[in-house]
Each structure stands twice: as structure tokens, then as C-alpha cells.
């Protein structure tokens, strides 16, 4: 039995990412935001895909413990360059290093999504990989881009929704918002499976 929208469980986004918050706002559902407080360091030898899936689920569970009646979304993204995880650069020098590594390469942005509800025992996790082909960037292009956009809080040092699109040759994905950090097609599918009514 589906609940009417006014009676449905609360929805909580387990993320401090403003990008994910802005994406979730597109669905026109009321939601709260909670910081998941999860250690995001990879385990020894952990593949980027496994890391993203583990962290998305860990974030959802961490927030679900605080909000057991809510449907909780957890998500994580790891840039995967030939099996090596690239995290958020945090600062200019690391961003330069990342973009130099990625020039001319295809990078897979492993975007993982988890939806859990402690009260009902609901749990689903999925991966929305996005293949991104970087142009063969010059050092000058890298420097100009980083000074203009300062994407130091983005995995892989580039914002495709902004000026970062100019660094790319191609994007291949079946869930177009996955690269920004939250695959909305999968999010809608999982929220409906968890019992929420979407507009």
C-alpha cells in the first residue's frame, strides 16, 4: 500500500555536498540534510568501485542510526584512473597533479548510491559509472582552468556542470546527473522502492 505524499516517511540526504543537495531539490520532495561522519579513506588495495559502494552504504547507515524512521540517501563518488582512486584534491597543487595524470585518459567516475530505512529494513545500493574522456590538456590550460573554477572539493578536480566541460572530449553515462554526484534516475527508482511517492 502506498502512502499519500503527506503521510510518507521523512527523507534525509546523508551528505554535506551542496551539489547533491541541489540535485535532490529537483525532485520537489521535502528533505533534511545530515552529515554522515564516515572515514572516507580507502582500505588497503580497495578498488575505486568497491570504495564508492562501501562509502555510500556506510554514509546511509550512519545517518539512518540518527534518523531510524527516515528514508536515507547515501552517495559517494570516486574517480577511477586505471584502477587507482583519485579523491578530492583539496588544494591547488594536488589538483594540478590530478589533471596532469588524467589528460588524454578515460577516467571512470564511480558514483555509488545507497538508500536505507532502518525502521523497515529497506536497503538498496547501486553504482552509476560515468566514463569521461579528458582532452590532452596543456599545463597552461590546466592552470587557467583551476584558477578560474577552483574545483578543489570535486573528485578528479573538474566540474562538468561548469567550466570543466571544456576539459573533456566525451561523457558516457546512462544517468546524466551521476557525474555531478547523485544519479537521479537511480535515486527516483530506489525512493519509489522504499515506498516514497514522487511527484
pLDDT, tens digit (0-9, with 9 covering 90-100), for 50-67: 999 999 999 999 999 999
- Distance between CA atoms of 24 and 99, rounded to whole angstroms? 28
Domains present along the chain, CATH in parentheses: 8-193 (3.90.950.10)
pLDDT at 5 over 60: no
140, 159 contact by CB (below 8 A): no
pLDDT, tens digit (0-9, with 9 covering 90-100), for 150-193: 999 888 899 888 899 999 999 999 999 999 999 999 999 999 99
Average pLDDT score over the chain: 94
182, 26 contact by CB (below 8 A): no
Task: Give the count of beta carbons closer than 10 Å to the beta carbon of residue 162.
Answer: 14
Q: Which residues are catalytic?
A: 76
pLDDT, tens digit (0-9, with 9 covering 90-100), for 64-117: 999 999 999 999 999 999 999 988 899 999 999 999 999 999 999 999 999 999
pTM for the whole structure: 0.90
Task: Give the count of beta carbons closer than 10 Å to the beta carbon of residue 108.
Answer: 18
Task: Return the axis-axis angle of helices 184-193 and 18-25, rounded to nearest 10°.
Answer: 70
Contacts with 115 (C-beta within 8 Å, 6 or more apart), sequence order: 60, 71, 72, 73, 74, 122, 123, 124, 125, 187, 190, 191, 193, 194
Amino acid at each position: 500500500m502506498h502512502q499519500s505524499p503527506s503521510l510518507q516517511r521523512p527523507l534525509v540526504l546523508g551528505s554535506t555536498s551542496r551539489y547533491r543537495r541541489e540535485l535532490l531539490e529537483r525532485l520537489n520532495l521535502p528533505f533534511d540534510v545530515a552529515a554522515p561522519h564516515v572515514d572516507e579513506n580507502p582500505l588497503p588495495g580497495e578498488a575505486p568501485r568497491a570504495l564508492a559502494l562501501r562509502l555510500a552504504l556506510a554514509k546511509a547507515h550512519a545517518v539512518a542510526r540518527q534518523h531510524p524512521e527516515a528514508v536515507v540517501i547515501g552517495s559517494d563518488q570516486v574517480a577511477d584512473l586505471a584502477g587507482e582512486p583519485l579523491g578530492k584534491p583539496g588544494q591547488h597543487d594536488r589538483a594540478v597533479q590530478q589533471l596532469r595524470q588524467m589528460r588524454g585518459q578515460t577516467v571512470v567516475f564511480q558514483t555509488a548510491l545507497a538508500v536505507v530505512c532502518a525502521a523497515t529494513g529497506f536497503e538498496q545500493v547501486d553504482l552509476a559509472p560515468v566514463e569521461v574522456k579528458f582532452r590532452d590538456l596543456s599545463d597552461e590550460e590546466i592552470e587557467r582552468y583551476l584558477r578560474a573554477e577552483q574545483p578543489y572539493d570535486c573528485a578528479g578536480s573538474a566540474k562538468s556542470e561548469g567550466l570543466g566541460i571544456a576539459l573533456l572530449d566525451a561523457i558516457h553515462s546512462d544517468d546524466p546527473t551521476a557525474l555531478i554526484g547523485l544519479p537521479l534516475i537511480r535515486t527516483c527508482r530506489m525512493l519509489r522502492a522504499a515506498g516514497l511517492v514522487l511527484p
